Amino acid sequence: MVLLRSHLPTLLVLLLSSIFSFSNSASIEENFIQCLSFYSDKAPPFSSSIVTPKDDSFTNVLDSSAQNLRLLVPSAPKPEFIFTPLNESHVQVAVICSKKLGIHMRVRSGGHDYEGLSYVSEIETPFIIIDLAKLRAVEVDIQDSSAWVQAGATVGEAYYRISEKSPVHGFPAGLCTSLGIGGHIVGGAYGSMMRKYGLGADNVLDAKIVDANGRLLDREAMGEDVFWAIRGGGGGSFGIVLSWKLNLVPVPETVTVFTVSKTLEQDATKIVQRWQEVAPNIDEELFMRVIIQPASTANKTERTISTSYNALFLGDADTLLQVMQQKFPELGLTKNDCLETSWIKSVLYIAGFPKDTPPEVLLQGKSTFKNYFKAKSDFVRDPIPETGLEGLWQRLLEEDSPLMIWNPYGGMMNSFSDSDSPFPHRNGTLYKIQYLTLWQDGDKNATKHIEWIRKLYNYMTPYVSKFPREAYVNYRDLDLGMNKKNSTSYIQATAWGNMYFKDNFNRLVKIKTKFDPENVFRHEQSIPPLPVSRLKDRKCNKWG
């Protein structure tokens, strides 16, 4: 019998998952392969898609897309094996077999999870990784202004394929081009066009997801509640997103980028103070973030603070200069600072690629940022006073290699209500802060750096959002709280759930309870189901 086709029919999935049995004497890997093979006698040998710690290639595959080296140290938990599906039906079968065998699974699309939740399980072993790296097709339909993009593709690959078909179409997603688009959009997906078009998640038309029973569902089949939940509700809670249908947006043939840096000796504090008032309220065609970090002074004997204004303007340089002269003359932007270019080349510029790097580099899908790091996030609703900034600079100068990135909101972001998607950080948000501390000596001094960023986070408490103190789900931070082994507690989860999702957290819990009542998809900060409702919801669940 040949069952591995584009997708497995629902009744067949349920029938086969109920009749397959496995051997108690075999290894997890052997039982998994046996289970996978049960679904087709003509499929390629599944053993070639599985890598175990015994294989020479294991470390390379595990490390291939993982961004945070802190989660790859020898002491970090390792999977029993990594399974790399070759098509959608492989993912369906993998879910069925994982559930049947009772083995915990983590799903990785791009490996950028800040706490490594897509490839490390601190609370549950044994576990396996389902790596979507081979599912990276991008199909662009310019006539329809849309594109179907598989979850394993990077945003850079999607950008390139869109620009290949049209120089005046784009998509408003991440600045980092090696982000896996599967996990990126489930967290919201902000980028340099968010002030013009909103988030990536705001520009999704359809999706395909594998649910806890191995069924492949599109938007109509999953229902509007689940479609709402997966566009900002965070990864690893509802199912495995296999692809997104993106709504492409218009971009000018010519855009303008610039980077202007100011140090403390060049009035950086006053300029940053002014930026807080200008950047969220300036023309929505302009995205102007600030990258803040220590730098050497001119005599190189001391350190100062450098603030770099890194921007994309959806228009020509002359128009940009008029806007800046009128709204933000304090920065002193000149024509020589500006670079007119195409939208696809602006992607490379904002991502930090060297000048004249060809766009084809985006097809490599490789991360240019691999470090040992710890990160946190905040949202700011009122400008930080100069005294607060001065205290911040002092603390940054105490750390070896800290980094802060301030991303402006406003524009189109103010047009959405907090409940339009699970991503609630909308109207009234001036900007988002990303805090990072980076190091290169493995786990040797990790505690020192992590303690530093925690103290910095505490210092910032008076200056950021309150009740709740908001955080960005795609900058996962386990300091905010985490689920325990075999216990996904609603009460415990509200601690971090309200910070990521505000009032949307309760709706996410209700959807989780209906769509995945057995909590098949879970991790340290997954959305919990309500245990009291499980038996009742299984009977009346409209999804099956």
* DSSP string across 474-531: TS--GGG--PBTTB--HHHHHHHHHHHHTTHHHHHHHHHHHH-TT--S--TTPPPP-G
Tokens encoding 4: 């591995």
* DSSP string across 194-215: HHHH--SGGGEEEEEEE-TTS-
Residue of 409, 435, 475, 490 marked catalytic: 475
Tokens encoding 175: 């600045």
The CA distance from 56 to 167, in Å, is 43
Q: Which residue's structure tokens are 């949307």?
A: 504
CB 22 within 8 A of CB 34: yes
Torsion angles phi and psi, residue 163, rounded to 5: -65, -25
475 assigned to active site: yes
The CA distance from 200 to 202, in Å, is 5
Q: How many residues does the chain have?
A: 544
Q: Which residues contact 410 (CB under 8 A, 6 or more apart)?
A: 195, 279, 280, 281, 282, 284, 429, 430
* DSSP string across 47-101: GGGEE-TTSTTHHHHHHSS--BGGGSSTTS---S-EE--SSHHHHHHHHHHHHHH
The CA distance from 424 to 97, in Å, is 36
Q: Which residues contact 241 (CB under 8 A, 6 or more apart)?
A: 109, 151, 182, 185, 186, 207, 208, 209, 230, 235
DSSP secondary structure letter of residue 371? B
Q: Give the closest residue to 39 by CA, choosing from 82, 124, 81, 100.
A: 100
CA quadruple 98, 99, 101, 104: dihedral sign: positive
CB 195 within 8 A of CB 427: no
Enzyme catalytic residues: 475
